[in-house]
Amino acid sequence: MTLEFYKYQGTGNDFVMVDNRSLFFPKQNTELIEKLCDRRFGIGADGLILLENDTETDFKMVYYNSDGNESSMCGNGGRCLVAFAKQLNVIENATTFIATDGLHHATVAPDGLVSLQMIDVNEIKITPEYVFLNTGSPHHVQIVEDLKNYNIKEQGAAIRYGALYGKAGSNVNFVSQINDDTFAVRTYERGVEDETLACGTGVTAVAIAMHATGVTAATRINTNVEGGKLEVSFEKNGSQYTQVFLKGPAAFVFKGQIEI
């Protein structure tokens, strides 16, 4: 069978996109998904995303990590899927869609920037060494010295596979403050099992964690990731973070076909 696919990237976080509204894709074929994401034997991507029909929203997002397993929410993937839906004429410039963590709203600006509403956050674990919270995916957030030369893969894997998070593990974000409202972030992603050039749920977690711990008072935070820049904004209502938005570029790279 010939598979038609689209490739998108959001600040270097890249995805294979498939229009699966006819439900033709073999979703249980973990080996196939892993191969499609393989950078040497396949298309190459951090993950694969299916766009499917939904009865109550514009579309449904089904996300797989590059290891072939269906995973929790992916923020940059969600933003790229919105751009993909616009390219397919499924939506115009505003949308509501369903993902594994619930309902999402998003808009596409004239300059192509996609703003995606993330889930509310009301549970944050704060310790002297790190912060843990779930922004659609679980995230460990830790400030480190000399982020540029930090061994992200080694240190991230140690935390992800360590006793702290058990078998399920966690994504791990290492952070350095640049100024009051700007932070540099590098992320080790579970499912990819390596550093990625950006992580949307990760920078969202970092922004909220930095606010919750008093490192910053800003409610609109800039994050510099290896693949570019992302903006996170939110409102604080009591102990809850609401109106959480992740904003950044979502670019079409190419369209192709591959035999599967």
Establish whether 80 is a catalytic residue. no
The one catalytic residue in 74, 83, 85, 119 is 74
Binding-site positions read 13, 65, 75-76, 171, 189-190, 200-201
Residues in the chain: 260
The one catalytic residue in 199, 206, 207, 209 is 199
Label the pairing between strands 138-143 and 171-179. Answer: parallel
Binding-site positions for substrate read 13, 65, 75-76, 171, 189-190, 200-201
Beta bridge partners of 138: 134
* Cβ count near 92 (within 10 Å): 11
Residues designated as active site: 74, 199
